[in-house]
Amino acid sequence: MATIPNTAPNVDSATATPPSFESALSELEGIVGAMEAGQMPLQDALNAYKRGVALLRQCQETLTAAEQQICILDANGLREFDALKEVPLGNPGVDSEAEG
């Protein structure tokens, strides 16, 4: 009989700090592994599923927030590095006008 691996009890999100992305993902992976083993009693499987959904939502929210921060940074002038644009003009073999 499999059990849910070291899952934290459900806590009120208003009073507790959620686990880090990495620990939430690790816990979620453990839950998936335990459920895939197929030896979990029905009630334990249901509880594991509920916990897994909560962890999945938290991970998705964390990733969405990170993507938004990246978009903000990009809008403030960050751009993709283009090595050809960074080479000084007139450099033989790189300047497209010198080739033609």
**pLDDT of the chain along its 100 residues, tens only?**
455 545 444 444 555 788 899 999 999 999 999 999 999 999 999 999 999 999 999 999 999 999 998 888 887 776 665 656 555 555 555 444 544 4
How far from 11 is each of 35, 58, 66, 85, CA to CA, in Å? 22, 13, 24, 52
Give dist(CA 57, CA 24) in Å, integer.
10
- CA geometry: angle at 93 spanning 92 and 95, to 5°? 75
Q: What is the pTM of this model?
A: 0.60
Task: Sketch the domain layout of the chain as residue ranges.
Answer: 21-90
Tell the CATH topology of 21-90.
Helix Hairpins (1.10.287)
**Distances in Å between the alpha carbon of 27 and those of 15, 20, 42, 48, 95?**
20, 11, 20, 10, 53
